[in-house]
Amino acid sequence: MKTMFARKRLRVVWVAALLGAGWALAAPGTAQAAGVTVSIACGSEGATNYELCVKASKQWEQKTGNHVRFITTPFSSSGRLALYEQWMAAHANIDVLMTDVFYPGILKKDLVNLTPYFKGEESKFFPAYLKIDTIDGKLLAVPWFAAVGVMYYRKDLLQKYGLKPPKTWAELTADAKLVQAKERAAGHPNFWGYVWQGKAYEGLTCDAVEWLASYGAGAIVAPDGKVTIDNPRAVAALTMARNWIGTISPRGVLSSEEPQTLQVFYAGNALFLRNWPYVWSVVQKPASPLKGKVGIIPIPKGPGADGRHAGAIGGWSLAVSKYGQHRKAAISLVKYLTSYEVERMRFLDGALMPTRLALYKDPKVLAKEPVMKIFYRAILSASPRPSAQTGAKYNRVSSIFYTDVHQMLLGEMTPQATVRTIAARLNALSDHGKHW
Ligand code: GLC
């Protein structure tokens, strides 16, 4: 505990020193003039996000005469948030932050209200994302790229075995078993039916929220704040996932984030992969061994009349920190990076889904990437994580949820005990759903 605390402090000091070094020459107050250096924590999420962030920021440098400094950040959303919280506590001099859909509720006191600067331009963005980024009437971040959980599958292999893309989890499980057995028998011993994100982190929350929603089991906490996870459909959904481990999914998924699961699929060792839209640009690259062999379907439905397709809503926005020295330039950079042209380039080059609605009807985009329609449909029926109703406590809600679901997947707790434990913890955290 003591060491952890000491390490944390050291890191804050280190970060502050690192940032201070770069800004020593920029006296506060002179910040708004052209030729300032704006720092941005973007990228790392998505295979090409970092390169595309750099590419567009360089264009902005050319247009404005300012400079951009890129700060490297952890890949995982949970790790990134922890780092931002340290920066904010230290009032670190960082101007622009890429924020996940649930960050604004947590960082609200640290972010600049962008409403006065966007002057209605925000009405061109997806309403669902604007809602996520607007807290207490203030636009705290501008939606930058959308994401929704989707299922990738090997078209060539389903064809080889005379199968159609599955619509339900039961079909996916059966197809995965069959193809896995046949491929192994044909001399491919490390072939698996299905890979997904099972490590204890935010990505597992997304996967498990999909299982619950697809079974009609709710979203852990209802919109009115009531804890709803302890229900029989949730038990059935979690049981399904636990039964995949060691049968159609390798135990390795329990320590996998998005990149590791993509690696297995990209290497040709899995039939199905659950992931985000940007993966499309990776598997379709000219050098990809999977080019032309991959299809996309919505997240399968659970059983019965309540079963539905439900990809989790993901995505990232750009926010301006209150503690950066170059607010005006930072806002200008955010405006440029979220412009129509830049969002189009990011979709065409990196399958990073636009947040501007008009791009979903852009003829150039549709002609070049017909998958846009699949992503669009998936996002319209997507399921949010319970971040709106749990606000600043969302991160604790999610970590209780993914920690216990992970234990269950490891076989250390039954699905029944898992939903009870999660419900008890969340009720304790919120005074039985009354105070979030
Ligand atoms: C993707 C999503 C993000 C989510 C994360 C979980 O980056 O866009 O919303 O939190 O995956 O790993």
Report the domain count for the chain: 2
Task: Looking at the structure, tell me whether residues 214 and 347 fall in a common domain.
Answer: no
Mutate to test the pocket of ligand 1, among 276, 355, 379, 398 (most ligand atoms within 8 A of CB): 276
Both 91 and 220 in a single domain? no
Same domain flag for 115 and 129: yes
Length of the chain: 436
pLDDT in tens, 128-183: 999 999 999 999 999 999 999 999 999 999 999 999 999 999 999 999 999 999 99
pLDDT in tens, 3-57: 443 444 434 434 433 333 332 233 333 344 459 999 999 977 666 899 999 999 9
Residue 100: what pLDDT?
97
Percent of the chain past pLDDT 70, that is, above it, reads 92
Please write the tens of the pLDDT for every residue from 227-246: 999 999 999 999 999 999 99
Q: Is residue 436 part of a domain?
A: no
Rounded CA separation 383/380 (Å): 9
At a CB cut-off of 8 Å and minimum separation 6, what does 126 contact?
143, 146, 355, 356, 357, 379
Please report, for residues 14, 168, 186, 235, 372, the alpha-carbon distance to residue 206 in angstroms, rounded to integers and kept in the order given.
32, 18, 34, 17, 21
Domain that holds residue 78: 2-140+315-380
Choose one of 364, 380, 396: the last residue of a domain: 380
Q: Which atom of ligand 1 is nearest to the CA of 313?
A: 9
Residue 335, exposed/middle/buried by CB under 10 A (0-12, 13-18, 19+)? middle
Q: Verify that 65 and 43 share a domain, yes or no.
A: yes
The set of protein residues with a Cβ atom below 6 angstroms from ligand 1 is 45, 77, 100-101, 147, 202-203, 206, 258, 276, 314-316
Question: How many A from CA of 46 to the centre of ligand 1?
Answer: 9
Phi, psi dihedrals of residue 69, rounded to the nearest 5°? -115, 130
Distances (CA, A) of 100 to 75, 294, 305, 331, 381: 12, 28, 33, 18, 20
Q: Find, among 322, 106, 280, the residue nearest to 330 by Cα.
A: 322
N- to C-terminal Cα separation, the chain:
27
Structure tokens at 335: 């405006």
**From ligand 1's centre to the CA of 177, what distance in Å?**
28
| Ligand 1 center–CA 183 separation, angstroms | 32
Please give the mean pLDDT across all residues of the chain: 91
pLDDT for 119 equals 87
Same domain, yes or no: 258 and 133:
no
75/45 Cα distance (integer angstroms): 6
| Phi, psi at 356, each rounded to 5° | -90, 125
The residue-averaged pLDDT of 406-422 equals: 98
Spatial neighbors of 268 by CB under 8 A, at least 6 apart, are 289, 290
Same domain, 8 and 93: yes
**Single pTM value for the model:** 0.91
pLDDT over 90, % of the chain: 88
Q: Which atom of ligand 1 is nearest to the CA of 314?
A: 9
β-bridge pairing 96-100 and 313-320? antiparallel
Domain contains 223: yes
Residues 187 and 255 in one domain: yes
Contact 323, 91 (CB under 8 A): yes
Q: How far is CA 357 from CA 31, 101, 217, 316, 396, in A?
A: 34, 18, 30, 16, 32
Indicate the top mutation candidate among 129, 133, 206, 256 to test ligand 1's pocket, ranked by most ligand atoms within 8 A of CB: 206
Supply the residue whose CA is at minimum distance from atom 5 of ligand 1.
203
Using alpha carbons, list the distances in angstroms from residue 135 to 12, 113, 122, 213, 396: 27, 9, 14, 25, 19
**Using the 8-state DSSP alphabet, how is residue 96 labeled?**
E
